[in-house]
Amino acid sequence: MTDIRPRVLDLFSCAGGAAMGYHRAGFDVDGVDIAPRPNYPFPYHQGDALDRLTHLITTGQIRRYALVHASPPCQAQCALTVGTNRAQGWGGTHLDLVAPTRALLERTGLPYVIEQPNGRATIRKDLSLCGEMFGLGVLRHRNFELGNWTTPRRTHPPHRGYVRGHRHGIYREGPYVAPYGSGGGKATVPEMQTAMGITWTDVREELTEAIPPAYTKWIGTAFLTCRQEVLA
C-alpha cells in the first residue's frame, strides 16, 4: 500500500522555488498565483490567491491540506521602498497583503508559513534562513512566520565573503552571486539557476523572486518531524 503524501497549498507561488522544496521534503503541492506560470512544476491554479483561499475555506476543500505556505506581496515595506528609497518616490502605492493573508490563514485552522524578505514587513521572524546555511551560492536572506506550529531556529553561520559585484562604486569578487538585476557583476541566468538550485525555469524575473528550494525542504522536513512527534 502506497503512503499518502501530505499536501501543501503554495499561495503567491511565483515559479515554484518554495514548492520544489516542500516536494523534496515529502509533500504534494498545489500552487496559486495571479500571473500565468507555465514553468511551475506542480498542479497550478491561476487566480487571486486570497480569493482562492477564501473559496477553499468556504467549500471545506482546505481540509485536503496539511500546511499552507504564503509569500504575499509586501512591497510597501521591502528594502526597495522604505527609508531613502521612499524619499526618491518609491513605495507609497505598493501592495501589502501580509495582514489579510494572515487573517485568512488563521481562519483555516491549519499550520502555516508566511515568507518575506528582509525589510519592515510585519511578520514574526520565527525563522531566518540564509543560503550560507545550505552551502548555496547566494545569501538571499528570508524570514518566516510559523502559525500554529513551531520548530527551533537554525544558527546563522558567518558569511564566507562578499557578494560578487559593484557596491558603492567598488567591485568585489566573492563566493556569492546577486540573483537580481543585471550588469555590475550581477548573476547571469545560468549562474542564478546553479546558485539557488532551480533548473525548471530560465525566466530572469521568476528567478529574482524565487527562494531556494533548500529553505522549504528544511522547513517542510521540520514540520513533518513536529507533526510526527505530536501524533506519537
Q: What are phi and psi of 158, to 5 degrees?
A: -60, 145
Q: Where are the alpha helices (DSSP H) in the chain?
A: 17-25, 49-59, 84-87, 98-108, 189-196, 204-209, 213-231
pLDDT of residue 78: 46
List pLDDT tens digits, range 154-176: 999 999 999 999 988 899 999 99
Spell out, as residue ranges, where the chain has pLDDT lower than 50.
Answer: 1-2, 77-93
Helix 17-25 / helix 213-231 crossing angle, nearest 10 deg: 40
Across the chain, how many H-helices and E-strands are there? Answer: 7, 9
Residue 31 grid coordinates: 500552487
Looking at residue 75, its pLDDT comes to 61
Q: Which pLDDT score, from 0 to 100, does residue 181 have? A: 84
pLDDT attached to residue 219: 98
Query: All 3 cell numbers of residue 19?
Result: 514548492
Smallest CA-to-CA distance from 21 within 197, 154, 206, 179 is with: 197
Residue type, 184: G
Output phi, psi for 152, to 5 deg.
-60, 150
User: What pLDDT digit, counting tens, does each position of 77-86 carry?
Assistant: 444 433 333 3
Name beta bridge partners: 35. Answer: none
**Integer Cα distance of 77 and 226 in angstroms:** 31
Helix (H, G, I), strand (E, B) or coil at 133: helix
Give me the pLDDT at residue 150, please. Answer: 97
Provide the pLDDT for residue 94: 53
Distance, CA of 107 to CA of 47 (rounded, Å): 20
Model pTM? 0.90
Distance in Å from the first CA to the final CA of the chain: 21
The pLDDT of residue 107 is 98
